[in-house]
């Protein structure tokens, strides 16, 4: 919890509820304000004496200048050439180092501290990388941090959380009711002005509205900033840049920015114009890095534009019997403490290219090559001066016999007026610079050995290939790679790793709802509130340092082996999953130069498995089932034959019945005619009796045929144990 102190440093005023922290009567820890002021004062002297001049000199070397020698001080008619050894050494390192940290390989990955962290550790890595790369200028931070370290002894970065509340007004005209409703339902909207326009014919033309809305936005930002080296303050007795003794940052800030941070404007005015802003403007590195930036700028008449020296410092202090890390904010040249709080870690990352044990600041790459730049400059100037004297020799003239103006003219083909011939002659000077050229090669070789930037490792010349064995070439390349890999490991561990862990801590502590991030080509809601904010990290730069061609070759061999295993053992095997195979293909695509590998290969769920196949049945069971199906087929054929036969018989019986009925009817008519003719009697009653008998006989025949056709088929015999039945009874 941050605490604001009064002018006497005896009590502090908290902005939070009294129940959430100490009361206003609690006192500032005794001696803390004085100790902080003393540490800051000594740190300023230490940085100015030990680092600032060296950093300024190395910056001059890098820019192709010699410290302390200005161009206007150079001797007339002498070469002012300056060798660029420092620049060349830095330029040899930068491309390889930038490729390591901005390429497709993941140099930094969080690792779980316990089993509970396994579920989200990969998502945490992707989320923090997304924040660093997409919400911050990752390229500029890495590039600037590397150059600051390589040239100016150390690079510094800081990170912090801020919540920005922004608002803007926007006018909308000619809205109907539906459009206005949609706008008013948006979150964080406030109506500033509304005007309604009635229509003459509401049924044909609806009423319209003009709106002026205030849009409000609250954005959570996780910011990483590169810190100029001259702003770093560190105790001369510190062994590491961890804040145990003192480490901090000084800045010259306008009053307006400090007011936005929550400081009182009236109180800030007493610190403005007291020379606080001159502490950095008179710094040697500040001037050399940007000479024009230290000149007198526009004279701001407004109070908010005046600058105040602002210092944030970290130091351990004894509180309640334990050493606690505190952060203090101070103003002005007297370093007056305005606020302080207990913190878990510092928000500063400091790296140095060649660290020394037991001291936080080591040696820069520029310091290793600066003396070579001096020597090469002197040799090259001598060579060029000798060449100039041999090409344009001095002239000997007889005084009084030559027109001196003509003799001193450099015009080509100009006349020289003399009283008699032989009064002018050149003083020939042989070129002796070639004697120094072999020495330049020796010096370059020594510089390469010291710095580790071998030209032969970057691109071998034909001469180098002819005069060197295969093993010598391989040793040269390996030596150059080893030094660059060591420096890359140092940069990752001491610069990027603290940044990533700091961003994770800020993300877990300040994100109060899920944040939508683009991970692996998909927009994913990430909620870190249940994460462990103290996850550690693994650093691996060896893979990224490997040449692209070699990595493509090796990864291609891995893909071929995976394909062989998948073809031999199938997609479900104990060695390779389809997700691993897809990952290898995506990595291969990125190494080939295609950043968006998801265009070519989809991400596979690690739990994916092919659809389960039915188990293979037993051979005996297959045979038994085949026999059963064969018997069933035979039974069906026999049933169909029986049914067809019955249908045929039924149709035949029906036809026979119809024929018999017609025959009986004819016989009856003939019999009736015969009786009537023979006996002449009325046989109506007898005819009716005969028709009834015929109908009764016909109905009986139909019923018998129907019962026969619909009789159930007899069931097949059951299978006997050990085999199928050979026949079916019908």
Residue 653: pLDDT band by 50, 70, 90 thresholds? confident
Question: Would you tell me how many other CB atoms lie within 10 Å of the CB of residue 165?
Answer: 9
Alpha carbon 70 to its chain centroid, in Å, reads 45
Mean pLDDT of 699-722: 54
Residue 268: pLDDT band by 50, 70, 90 thresholds? confident
Domain check: are 571 and 512 in the same one?
Answer: no
Instruction: Determine the pLDDT at residue 23.
Output: 33
Check whether 206 has a pLDDT greater than 80. no
Q: Please, which residues have CB within 8 angstroms of residue 324's CB and are 6 or more apart in sequence?
A: 316, 317, 318, 342
For the stretch 23-59, pLDDT in tens is 333 467 889 999 999 999 999 999 999 999 999 999 9
Q: Is the torsion defined by CA of 679, 685, 691, 696 positive or negative?
A: negative
Check whether 373 has a pLDDT greater than 80. yes
Question: Would you tell me how many other CB atoms lie within 10 Å of the CB of residue 524?
Answer: 16
Residue pair 243/317 in contact by the 8 Å Cβ criterion = no
- DSSP conformation letters of 645-696: HHHHHHHHHHHHHHHHHHHHHHHHHHHHHHHHHHH----HHHHHHHHHHHHH
Residue 466 falls inside a structural domain: yes
- DSSP conformation letters of 2-68: -EEE-TTSSBEE-SS-GGGS--TTPBPPTTHHHHHHHHHHHHHHHHIIIIIHHHHHHHHHHTT--TT
Mean pLDDT of 197-218: 79
Domain check: are 377 and 506 in the same one?
Answer: yes
Residue 3: pLDDT band by 50, 70, 90 thresholds? very low
Region of poorest pLDDT, from 57-71, 114-128, 450-464:
450-464
Domain check: are 594 and 633 in the same one?
Answer: no
Residue 258 falls inside a structural domain: no
Residue 13: pLDDT band by 50, 70, 90 thresholds? very low
Instruction: Determine the pLDDT at residue 483.
Output: 85
Looking at 586, 613, 640, the residue that finishes a domain is: 613
For the stretch 546-561, pLDDT in tens is 777 888 888 899 999 9
Closest CA to 534 of 559, 565, 572, 508: 508
* Choice between 270 and 576, residue whose per-residue pLDDT is larger: 576
Instruction: Determine the pLDDT at residue 80.
Output: 86
Region of poorest pLDDT, from 96-110, 135-149, 606-620, 691-705:
691-705
Specify the pairing of strand 3-5 against strand 155-175: unpaired
* Choice between 711 and 327, residue whose per-residue pLDDT is larger: 327
Instruction: Determine the pLDDT at residue 726.
Output: 39
* Choice between 325 and 688, residue whose per-residue pLDDT is larger: 325
For the stretch 631-645, pLDDT in tens is 777 777 777 777 777
Question: Would you tell me how many other CB atoms lie within 10 Å of the CB of residue 12?
Answer: 22
Check whether 17 has a pLDDT greater than 70. no
The helix (H) or strand (E) run that includes residue 108 is: strand 108-111
Averaged pLDDT score across all residues of the chain:
80
Region of poorest pLDDT, from 129-133, 512-516, 672-676:
672-676
Residue 10 falls inside a structural domain: no
Instruction: Determine the pLDDT at residue 370.
Output: 92
Mean pLDDT of 10-35: 53
Report the C-alpha gap between 316 and 327 in whole angstroms.
9
Q: Please, which residues have CB within 8 angstroms of residue 428's CB and are 6 or more apart in sequence?
A: 390, 393
Domain check: are 598 and 655 in the same one?
Answer: no
Instruction: Determine the pLDDT at residue 391.
Output: 86
Check whether 720 has a pLDDT greater than 70. no
Domain check: are 380 and 437 in the same one?
Answer: yes
Residue 714: pLDDT band by 50, 70, 90 thresholds? low
Report the C-alpha gap between 7 and 15 in whole angstroms.
17
9: left (phi over 0), alpha (psi -120 to 50) or beta: left
For the stretch 292-337, pLDDT in tens is 765 555 566 677 788 889 999 999 999 888 999 999 999 988 899 9
The residues with which 246 forms a beta bridge, in sequence order, are: none
Residue 459 falls inside a structural domain: yes
Residue pair 341/2 in contact by the 8 Å Cβ criterion = yes
Q: Please, which residues have CB within 8 angstroms of residue 517's CB and are 6 or more apart in sequence?
A: 126, 127, 130, 131, 523, 524, 526
Domain check: are 677 and 691 in the same one?
Answer: yes
Report the C-alpha gap between 370 and 57 in whole angstroms.
9
Is residue 1 classed as helix, strand or coil in its secondary structure? Answer: coil
Report the C-alpha gap between 300 and 568 in whole angstroms.
78
Domain check: are 473 and 374 in the same one?
Answer: yes
What separation in angstroms does the CA of 698 have from each of 19, 472, 648, 653, 684? 111, 119, 19, 11, 21
Residue 2: pLDDT band by 50, 70, 90 thresholds? very low
Check whether 6 has a pLDDT greater than 50. no
For the stretch 463-479, pLDDT in tens is 444 555 555 555 555 55
Residue 117 falls inside a structural domain: yes
Looking at 580, 613, 646, the residue that finishes a domain is: 613
Mean pLDDT of 110-120: 91
Residue 354 falls inside a structural domain: no
Alpha carbon 346 to its chain centroid, in Å, reads 24
What separation in angstroms does the CA of 212 have from each of 172, 191, 207? 6, 6, 17
Domain check: are 491 and 609 in the same one?
Answer: no
- Structural domain containing residue 637: 619-709
Domain check: are 458 and 489 in the same one?
Answer: yes
Work out how many domains the chain is built from and give that number: 3
Report the C-alpha gap between 168 and 145 in whole angstroms.
36
Residue 533: pLDDT band by 50, 70, 90 thresholds? very high
Mean pLDDT of 185-208: 80
Residue pair 304/256 in contact by the 8 Å Cβ criterion = yes
Residue pair 600/594 in contact by the 8 Å Cβ criterion = yes
Domain check: are 570 and 626 in the same one?
Answer: no
Is residue 340 classed as helix, strand or coil in its secondary structure? Answer: strand
Report the C-alpha gap between 100 and 546 in whole angstroms.
9
Long-range CB contact pairs, 79-84, < 8 A, 24+: 79/380, 79/381, 79/384, 79/385, 79/388, 80/381, 81/377, 81/380, 81/381, 81/384, 82/373, 82/377, 83/372, 83/373, 83/376, 83/377, 83/380, 84/373
- DSSP conformation letters of 688-714: HHHHHHHHHHHHHHHHHHHHHHTPPPP
Report the C-alpha gap between 233 and 432 in whole angstroms.
51
Alpha carbon 681 to its chain centroid, in Å, reads 123
DSSP state of 334: T
Report the C-alpha gap between 195 and 213 in whole angstroms.
12
Instruction: Determine the pLDDT at residue 477.
Output: 57
Domain check: are 370 and 499 in the same one?
Answer: yes
Check whether 713 has a pLDDT greater than 90. no
Is residue 511 classed as helix, strand or coil in its secondary structure? Answer: coil
What separation in angstroms does the CA of 649 have from each of 93, 175, 211, 652, 708? 104, 86, 93, 5, 9
Residue 66: pLDDT band by 50, 70, 90 thresholds? confident
Residue 722: pLDDT band by 50, 70, 90 thresholds? very low
Residue 451: pLDDT band by 50, 70, 90 thresholds? confident
Residue pair 424/397 in contact by the 8 Å Cβ criterion = yes
pTM for the whole thing? 0.72
Instruction: Determine the pLDDT at residue 480.
Output: 65
How many helical (H) and strand (E) elements, i.e. helices and strands, does the chain have? 22, 17
Report the C-alpha gap between 81 and 373 in whole angstroms.
11
Instruction: Locate 241 and state its tokens.
Output: 């840049």
Looking at 613, 641, 664, the residue that finishes a domain is: 613
Percent of the chain with pLDDT over 90: 30
Report the C-alpha gap between 341 and 358 in whole angstroms.
28
Residue 1: pLDDT band by 50, 70, 90 thresholds? very low
Residue 410 falls inside a structural domain: no
Residue 647 falls inside a structural domain: yes
Instruction: Locate 413 and state its tokens.
Output: 């083909």
Mean pLDDT of 595-622: 76
The residues with which 253 forms a beta bridge, in sequence order, are: 308
Domain check: are 606 and 654 in the same one?
Answer: no
Specify the pairing of strand 108-111 against strand 189-197: unpaired
Residue 389: pLDDT band by 50, 70, 90 thresholds? confident
Instruction: Determine the pLDDT at residue 516.
Output: 85
Closest CA to 51 of 228, 277, 226, 310: 228
Region of poorest pLDDT, from 209-223, 634-648, 689-703:
689-703
For the stretch 152-190, pLDDT in tens is 999 999 999 988 778 888 888 888 888 888 888 888 888
């Amino acid at each position: 919890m941050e605490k604001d102190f009064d002018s006497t440093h005896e009590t502090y005023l908290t902005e939070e509820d009294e129940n959430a922290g100490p009361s206003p009567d609690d006192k500032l820890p005794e001696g803390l304000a004085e100790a902080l002021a003393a540490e800051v004062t000594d740190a300023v002297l230490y940085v100015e004496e030990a680092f600032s001049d060296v950093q300024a000199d190395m910056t001059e070397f890098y820019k192709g200048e010699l410290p302390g020698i200005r161009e206007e001080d150079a001797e007339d008619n002498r070469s002012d050439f300056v060798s660029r050894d420092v620049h060349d050494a830095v330029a040899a390192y930068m491309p390889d180092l930038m490729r390591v940290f901005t390429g497709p390989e993941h140099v930094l990955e969080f690792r779980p501290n316990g089993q509970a962290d396994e579920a989200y550790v990969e998502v945490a890595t992707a989320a923090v990388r997304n924040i660093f790369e997409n919400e911050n200028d990752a390229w500029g931070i890495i590039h600037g941090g590397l150059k600051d370290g390589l040239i100016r002894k150390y690079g510094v970065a800081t990170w912090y959380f801020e919540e920005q509340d922004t608002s803007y007004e926007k006018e909308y005209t000619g809205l109907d009711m539906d459009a206005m409703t949609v706008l008013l339902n948006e979150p964080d909207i406030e109506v500033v002005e509304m005007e309604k326009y009635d229509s003459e014919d509401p049924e044909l033309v609806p009423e319209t509205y003009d709106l002026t809305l205030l849009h409000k936005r609250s954005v959570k930002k996780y910011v990483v900033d590169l810190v100029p080296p001259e702003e770093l303050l560190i105790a001369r007795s510190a062994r590491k840049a961890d804040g145990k003794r003192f480490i901090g940052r000084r800045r010259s800030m306008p009053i307006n920015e400090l007011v936005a941070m929550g400081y009182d404007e009236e109180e800030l005015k007493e610190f403005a114009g007291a020379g606080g802003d001159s502490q950095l403007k008179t710094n040697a590195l500040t001037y050399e890095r940007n000479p024009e930036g230290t000149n007198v700028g526009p004279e701001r008449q407004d109070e908010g534009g005046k600058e105040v020296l602002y210092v944030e410092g970290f130091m351990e202090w004894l509180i309640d019997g334990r050493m606690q890390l505190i952060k203090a904010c101070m103003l002005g040249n007297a370093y007056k403490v305005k606020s302080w709080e207990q913190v878990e870690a510092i928000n500063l990352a400091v790296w140095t290219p060649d660290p020394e044990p037991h001291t936080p600041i080591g040696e820069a790459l520029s310091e290793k090559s600066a003396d070579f730049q001096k020597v090469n400059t002197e040799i090259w100037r001598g060579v060029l001066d000798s060449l100039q004297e041999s090409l344009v020799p001095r002239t000997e003239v007889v005084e009084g016999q030559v027109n001196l103006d003509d003799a001193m003219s450099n015009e080509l083909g100009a006349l020289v007026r003399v009283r008699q011939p032989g009064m002018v002659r050149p003083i020939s000077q042989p070129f002796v610079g070639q004697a120094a050229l072999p020495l330049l090669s020796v010096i370059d070789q020594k510089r390469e050995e010291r710095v580790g930037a071998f030209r032969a490792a970057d691109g071998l010349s034909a001469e180098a290939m002819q005069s060197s064995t295969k093993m010598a070439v391989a040793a040269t390349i390996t030596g150059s790679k080893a030094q660059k890999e060591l420096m890359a490991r140092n940069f990752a561990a001491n610069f990027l790793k603290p940044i990533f862990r700091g961003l994770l801590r800020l993300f877990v502590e300040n994100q109060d709802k899920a944040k939508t991030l683009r991970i692996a080509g998909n927009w994913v809601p990430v909620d870190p509130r249940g994460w462990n904010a103290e996850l550690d990290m693994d650093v691996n730069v060896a893979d990224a340092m490997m040449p692209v061609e070699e990595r493509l070759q090796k990864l291609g061999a891995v893909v071929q082996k995976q394909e062989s295993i998948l073809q031999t053992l199938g997609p479900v095997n104990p060695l390779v999953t389809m997700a691993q195979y897809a990952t290898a293909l995506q990595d291969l695509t990125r190494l080939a130069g295609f950043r968006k590998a998801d265009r070519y290969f989809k991400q596979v769920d690690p739990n994916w498995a092919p659809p389960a196949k039915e188990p293979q049945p037993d051979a005996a069971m297959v045979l038994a089932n085949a026999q059963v199906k064969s018997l069933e087929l035979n039974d069906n054929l026999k049933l169909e034959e029986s049914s067809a036969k019955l249908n045929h018989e039924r149709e035949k019986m029906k036809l026979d019945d119809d024929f018999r009925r017609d025959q009986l009817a004819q016989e009856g008519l003939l019999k009736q005619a015969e009786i009537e003719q023979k006996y002449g009697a009325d046989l109506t009653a007898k005819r009716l009796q005969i028709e009834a008998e015929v109908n009764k006989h016909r109905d009986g025949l139909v019923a018998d045929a129907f019962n026969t056709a619909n009789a159930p088929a007899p069931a097949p015999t059951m299978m006997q144990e050990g085999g199928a039945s050979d026949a079916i009874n019908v």
